[in-house]
Chains A and B, each alone.
Chain A
Amino acid sequence: MKLITAIIKPFKLDDVKEALRELNVAGMTVSEVQGFGRQRGHTEVYRGTEYKVDFVPKIKVELVTDDADAQRVVDAVVAAARTDKIGDGKVWMVAVDQVVRVRTGEMGHDAL
């Protein structure tokens, strides 16, 4: 199983949700976060002092999927979140050892 984490621009959340729904991804967790990357939060047309680093609001989407579906999910998220501008974000994948459904106690694939 894989944990897929995506940092995306806030206004892209609906597009990403839609793309995931089409893949029958059952659930996800969404949080409001802040961050910056290589451009330190500056836009292309930056007018402030070079040395300032600005945190920019982003959305973090997390979900756990089967190994077989993981790559497809990543591709879908990337395609849906892209605007071709700086600040589009990143997606990464991490191996998961164990998943448990709280209500029933099901584990592993059954819990997805």
Chain B
Amino acid sequence: MGRDFCAAYTKLADDLVAQLWTAATAGRGRVAGLALVAVGGYGRKELCPTSDLDMVLLHGGRSDRQVADAVAEQLWYPLWDLGLKLGHAVRTVREAVALAESHLETATSMLDVRPLAGGALTTELRQRAALQWRRHQPRWLNELHRSVLDRHARSDEVAFLLEPDLKEGRGGLRDVHALQWAGITGTENTSGPGAAADRSALTRLERQSLAEAAGVLLDARVELQRRTAKASSRLLLQEQDAVAHALGDADADVLMARVAQAGRTVAWISDEAWSRMTPATLEDAGKRPDRHPPGAGLLWRNGMVELAADADVPGDPGLALRAAAAAAEAGSRIGRECLERLGADAPDLGQPWPAEALRSFVRLLDAGRPAVAVMEALDQKGILVRQIPEWVAVRSRPQRNAYHRFTVDRHLCETAAHASERVVRVRRPDLLLVGALLHDIGKGFVPALGADHTEAGIVVVERLGQRMGFPPDDIATLVAMVRHHLLLADVATRRDLTDPATVTAVADAVGDPDLLALLHMLTEADSIATGPTAWSPWKSGLIDQLVTRVATNLAGGRPEDADEDFPTTDHLTLVGATEAGQITVRAGDGSLVVVAADRPGLFCRVAGVLTLHSLEVLAARAWSSPDGVAVEDFTVTPMFSGEPSWSRVEDDLRRAVAGRLSLESRVSERARQYGRNRGGGAATAHPSRTVIEIDNLASATATVVEVRTPDGIGVLYRITRALGSLDLDIRSAQVSTLGHEVVDTFYVVDSCGGQITDSAFAQEIRAEVLAELARA
């Protein structure tokens, strides 16, 4: 496993190279002046299954060149013919050092020089390379740090991705190497991760943690490359089960949790070490935190929070949170010594928390983005779980799908950070911040404390709220926030907002305008912190609409139905202008209106044509006049950038409505081309099945059919085809995309215009929709 493999493989390579060297130099003159060295990963003895063998053949200069060339050929060709990849070069020591002078990557590869064959030149190279590194150390350190930051900006975090890059990602093996190189001051070679890290940059404990974390990543990388025989270090979803099995993990979830934890440790230690080694590059000119005193027992040093001489760590429970709050508010960090002592000696807060501790906690969360890094520090030293034991359950807990970008704990911190930007819009900022931090904590307690994360969360927050010392009313509010944290988003994207029953249901559940405001801001913060696909202007608009209507309702007002009447006068004009048997199409500006003779299946045909033209349906409404003319209004957005050719859309619509277009074959063909998942990359570790809900309570006039299914081309077409084939009349539709899943909600009535009350018929609807989707 891991390191053992690397050592063994390196030994194998060394033996082979030694043999080739003997053969290449046998019977030649002037070979005493040559030397062969390993550099880079090969020099570090860290050969993974598909790593390059990086070597340099050293020679003494012009007179040696011919021999060197001849020997080189006899070394490289056999290795190439064996299918190995080489990083090969033939140089004098001076040439090598000169190259290292100007190029960071070459300079760092020279730090890992290891002799393979030959003599004195190796020593000369090592000495001169180390000398050169030391001489330019300040410049190299800066460049190295910058390259680390660049890489972080380019690649995503090992701790959070569904398919992390174990080498290049933030918190990956390259970060470990960078720390090793930064720590080199003498001539000793490294023999393992963290072994030669500079004393002043990392503590012994940190070096140990780093080595362990690097070991986890290396193990996974070696197994991955063994399986795929490719040079990539990206732990693809399809490989995770096999790698987990090979490493003795029960399943991929266990493996990825370990990898996430390792990535997090490396990222954290890397951040800390760099901030100590290059304080100058990190200090932001504008930030001078020495202004406000940080609080009792604390002081500022080097821009960071440190313990004052009179600090009593075991006897002052609120000290840790006070330090954290001060650091976050100043956009800075807690100093290393302070962190170490707090980690060692900070007590738990007791029950209930001292009032000052709760205040500090809220101040910490209120600080916003800087609080995320400070909370990471508290968690790394075990302080966070000491003071909030329930945090253990969500620590580094991956969510394993592309919709949720972060692990659960990081998602909670991110939500709190986004919530801090919204505190002006609620009456109780403290409840918003604490509620944001705890809203998903139930995810760590399923199924122990509840069937889903909302139920479990309620139990945990009830308990925590008491411990934190909130009065009963506040605890009730926090619990309500957890209970309803998904309510606004779900209703806004899956229900007809103009239906009074929708608004009433939410108003009844929420009951109070202050809670409504809290939920509104929590919903925004939660969505933004979930991932890039979880928030959009469309979704935001829907939620704003819902909140406005509910607020009006709660204030006793009646909903304004003026501007939302469907069909509008424009629509009715179009109806009047359409002769019998004709169809009218009005397209543009994100909406498409079709007027035609009413029939079941009209909706589905329009949906099909829209799919063919890469138009995504966000919502739709339909109405029919007493004499059988239907108006359907679709809100659409192009799937790829650029406007579609509306005239072509119109042509296809006419043909489709007239029954002259084979939608089935065309949509299927398109679905085949694009694959079931739109876009590349894995969607989720645990793909879901289709779920269909049929509900008569959400509306007084229609039945709500809600279909949750993996997203794909033609899904809307298929579902509406099923509904149409059962003669169901679609009044309105909402399409909500959750990552790679989609929730399509339809308000339907049967052919008599009433709700579907026959449960047998409801079963038929389910069966038909499932059958259509299975056909995709």
**A-chain residues with CB within 8 Å of residue B95 when the two chains form the complex:** 47
**B-chain residues with CB within 8 Å of residue A49 when the two chains form the complex:** 99, 103, 105-106
* B240: interface (CB < 8 Å): no
Report A89 CB to chain B, min CB distance, Å. 14
On whether A38 and B80 interact (CB within 8 A), knowing A44-B72, A50-B106, the answer reads yes
**B-chain residues with CB within 8 Å of residue A47 when the two chains form the complex:** 89-91, 95
B109 A50 Cβ-Cβ under 8 A: yes
Bound complex: CA of A50 vs CA of B91, how far in Å?
12
**B-chain residues with CB within 8 Å of residue A38 when the two chains form the complex:** 80, 85
**B-chain residues with CB within 8 Å of residue A39 when the two chains form the complex:** 80, 86, 88
B88 A46 Cβ-Cβ under 8 A: yes
On whether A50 and B89 interact (CB within 8 A), knowing A38-B80, A39-B80, A44-B72, the answer reads yes
Contact with B along A21-45 (1 / 0, CB 8 A): 0000000000000000011001011
Number of residues in A with C-beta < 8 Å to the partner? 12
B88 A44 Cβ-Cβ under 8 A: yes
* A86: interface (CB < 8 Å): yes
Bound complex: CA of A45 vs CA of B90, how far in Å?
5
Bound complex: CA of A46 vs CA of B72, how far in Å?
10
Q: Enumerate B180-234 residues with CB–CB distance to A below 8 Å.
A: none
* A51: interface (CB < 8 Å): yes
* B87: interface (CB < 8 Å): yes
* B68: interface (CB < 8 Å): yes
A51 B80 Cβ-Cβ under 8 A: no
**B-chain residues with CB within 8 Å of residue A42 when the two chains form the complex:** 88
Report A42 CB to chain B, min CB distance, Å. 7
**A-chain residues with CB within 8 Å of residue B87 when the two chains form the complex:** 50
A45 B68 Cβ-Cβ under 8 A: yes
**B-chain residues with CB within 8 Å of residue A50 when the two chains form the complex:** 39-40, 54, 87, 89, 105-106, 109
Report A87 CB to chain B, min CB distance, Å. 11
Bound complex: CA of A19 vs CA of B86, how far in Å?
33
**A-chain residues with CB within 8 Å of residue B21 when the two chains form the complex:** none
A44 B69 Cβ-Cβ under 8 A: yes
Q: Enumerate A53-112 residues with CB–CB distance to B below 8 Å.
A: 86
* B561: interface (CB < 8 Å): no
Bound complex: CA of A53 vs CA of B72, how far in Å?
20
Report B652 CB to chain A, min CB distance, Å. 31
A46 B89 Cβ-Cβ under 8 A: yes
Report B348 CB to chain A, min CB distance, Å. 51
B105 A51 Cβ-Cβ under 8 A: yes
Report B107 CB to chain A, min CB distance, Å. 10
* B445: interface (CB < 8 Å): no
Bound complex: CA of A5 vs CA of B384, how far in Å?
64
Contact with A along B88-131 (1 / 0, CB 8 A): 11110001000100010110010000000000000000000000
* B717: interface (CB < 8 Å): no
Report B545 CB to chain A, min CB distance, Å. 54
**B-chain residues with CB within 8 Å of residue A51 when the two chains form the complex:** 103, 105-106
Report B35 CB to chain A, min CB distance, Å. 16
* B758: interface (CB < 8 Å): no
* B73: interface (CB < 8 Å): yes
B103 A86 Cβ-Cβ under 8 A: no
* B623: interface (CB < 8 Å): no
**A-chain residues with CB within 8 Å of residue B88 when the two chains form the complex:** 39, 42, 44, 46
* B160: interface (CB < 8 Å): no
* B634: interface (CB < 8 Å): no
**A-chain residues with CB within 8 Å of residue B140 when the two chains form the complex:** none
Bound complex: CA of A44 vs CA of B73, how far in Å?
6
Report A86 CB to chain B, min CB distance, Å. 7
B72 A45 Cβ-Cβ under 8 A: yes
A86 B80 Cβ-Cβ under 8 A: yes
Report A111 CB to chain B, min CB distance, Å. 31
Report B76 CB to chain A, min CB distance, Å. 6
Bound complex: CA of A92 vs CA of B364, how far in Å?
64
Bound complex: CA of A64 vs CA of B429, how far in Å?
75
**B-chain residues with CB within 8 Å of residue A48 when the two chains form the complex:** 89, 99
Report B177 CB to chain A, min CB distance, Å. 15
Query: Which residue of chain B lies nearest to A52 when distances are taken between CB atoms in the complex?
Result: B103
**A-chain residues with CB within 8 Å of residue B86 when the two chains form the complex:** 39
Bound complex: CA of A50 vs CA of B54, how far in Å?
8
Bound complex: CA of A39 vs CA of B99, how far in Å?
19
Report B330 CB to chain A, min CB distance, Å. 41
Bound complex: CA of A39 vs CA of B105, how far in Å?
18
Bound complex: CA of A47 vs CA of B99, how far in Å?
9
Report A49 CB to chain B, min CB distance, Å. 5
Bound complex: CA of A24 vs CA of B336, how far in Å?
80
Report A29 CB to chain B, min CB distance, Å. 30
**A-chain residues with CB within 8 Å of residue B73 when the two chains form the complex:** 44
Interface centre among A38, A45, A46, A47 (most CB of B within 10 A): A45
Query: Which residue of chain A lies nearest to B85 when distances are taken between CB atoms in the complex?
Result: A38
Report B59 CB to chain A, min CB distance, Å. 10
Bound complex: CA of A47 vs CA of B89, how far in Å?
6
**A-chain residues with CB within 8 Å of residue B90 when the two chains form the complex:** 44-47
**A-chain residues with CB within 8 Å of residue B103 when the two chains form the complex:** 49, 51
**A-chain residues with CB within 8 Å of residue B91 when the two chains form the complex:** 47
Query: Which residue of chain A lies nearest to B55 when distances are taken between CB atoms in the complex?
Result: A50
Bound complex: CA of A46 vs CA of B95, how far in Å?
11
B76 A44 Cβ-Cβ under 8 A: yes
Hey, which bits of chain A sit against chain B, CB under 8 A? 38-39, 42, 44-51, 86
Closest 7 pairs (CB-CB, A-B): A45-B90, A50-B87, A46-B89, A45-B69, A49-B106, A49-B103, A51-B105
A-B contact pairs, 27 of them (CB 8 A): A38-B80, A38-B85, A39-B80, A39-B86, A42-B88, A44-B69, A44-B73, A44-B88, A44-B90, A45-B68, A45-B69, A45-B72, A46-B88, A47-B89, A47-B90, A47-B91, A47-B95, A48-B89, A48-B99, A49-B99, A49-B105, A49-B106, A50-B39, A50-B40, A51-B105, A86-B77, A86-B80
Hey, which bits of chain B sit against chain A, CB under 8 A? 39-40, 54, 68-69, 72-73, 76-77, 80, 85-91, 95, 99, 103, 105-106, 109
